[in-house]
Amino acid sequence: MNTTSTAKLAGLGLTALRSNFERLARPYKLTFSITYGCQSRCLTCNIWQIKPTGELDLREITEFASRNTHFKWIEITGGEPFLRSDIVDIVKAFRDSSRDLYIVTMPTNSLCNQDMVVGKITQILELGIPKVSITISLDGYRELHDKIRGIPGNFDRAMGMARRLKELQKTHSNLFFIFGYTMSKFNQGSLMETIAKVRQELPWAAVNNFHVNVGQLSDSYYQNQTLDLRPDPAVISAELGEFIRHRRFEFGAIPIVEGAFLKKLGYYVKTGRAPMKGRSLDASLFMDSYGNVYPSIMWGRKIGNIRDSSYSLQPLWNNAEAQQVRSLIDQGKEPVAWTACEAYQTLVGNIGSLFI
Ligand code: SF4
């Protein structure tokens, strides 16, 4: 890691540490859905049914990036982010404005033209951001993944994407990638079998190359509140335990936070309760592709729209609605959820929770 990357990592670490002792004046993490367009047909999510119109264009996103220059961590999401032909310019806009930006993450369903996607990822890697992390969505072994995602051949496309990214890592040390596995009633009990089947295709893949989440309901984001995803807590608690036992110990901040996230995920699954208070509208926020700003990806309580604040977050950050949301969080009245999008900043903002 060069000096600039080390300084940016230290900046992110110090800000996260500071969030343990004070409410931050500005968020360091932005979760941003850049489009609700998606070619998947997932059983767990209804985003694919949305035909988005009026999403923020590149000029607006660039304006937003230039007026809000304090992000150290940007989690791009969708829909399928690579359906936006301007994805490289979007990342570049944040890279140009947020000088301390350390990490950009984004998922892919592996359904876009892979030469195009790998070309765009290569351009993003060459923007000089210290860490770029790609999550390849994978919810099961071949037949199961294709059924949950509603697209025949999707598993093989995900394997192809993983091979391409593994190759790309040889020339780009700032690339990190994992498989993102969402547990639901559709794949309960199949996690370890999926990992074994992936290893038949990709012998280098290990348990640590998988990130697991539990499918959740949201009327504002996934728009899946009418779906029944809920798995049997006993089944997924058991497979989560087995998954944790097979994880290899790794040094570093990210493996430590990931380990703590998984432990707390077990608590969430067993009890149906959030393990701790979130850091929404403190360390982080969620913005959708229309510029609506929410406390988090799972909490559809809009605090405003950046189109109404000349693309500046500050007026929204301090408005009455935002104060209300913070007060509800202080009273422990935020919606129950435990997703990686929100959990990482919550864990590092409650530093003791990383070790218990
Ligand atoms: S889960 Fe992801 S890939 Fe599936 S429909 Fe929703 S946005 Fe698309």
Domain boundaries, the chain: 3-355
Q: Among 165, 174, 240, 254, which Cα is nearest to 207's? A: 240
* pLDDT score at 81: 98
CATH fold of the domain at 3-355: TIM Barrel (3.20.20)
Mean pLDDT of all residues in the chain? 92
Q: Kindly report, residue by residue over 272-285, the tens digit of the pLDDT.
A: 888 777 778 888 99
As a whole number of angstroms, the distance between CA 31 and CA 51 comes to 21
Angle at 214 between CA 218 and CA 331, to 5 degrees: 60
Ligand 1 center to residue 186 CA distance, Å? 15
* pLDDT score at 216: 84
Average pLDDT over residues 309-330: 94
Ligand 1 center to residue 216 CA distance, Å? 12
Residue 133 has pLDDT above 90, yes or no: yes
Q: Kindly report, residue by residue over 177-204, the tens digit of the pLDDT.
A: 999 999 999 999 999 999 999 999 999 9
* Token pair of 308 as six digits: 């109404």
* pLDDT score at 224: 86
Residues near ligand 1 with C-beta < 6 Å? 38, 40, 42, 45, 47-48, 78-80, 109, 137
* pLDDT score at 217: 83
* Token pair of 194 as six digits: 């999926």
Q: Kindly report, residue by residue over 70-85, the tens digit of the pLDDT.
A: 999 999 999 999 999 9
67 — pLDDT class (breaks 50, 70, 90): very high
Ligand 1 center to residue 79 CA distance, Å? 6
Q: Specify the ligand 1 atom closest to the Cα of 137.
A: 3
The answer to whether the CB of 150 falls within 8 A of the CB of 40 is yes
Residue 356 has pLDDT above 70, yes or no: no
* Strand extents, DSSP E, 109-190: 131-137, 175-183
* Token pair of 187 as six digits: 């794949």
Question: Residue 89: which H helix or E strand, with range?
Answer: helix 87-97
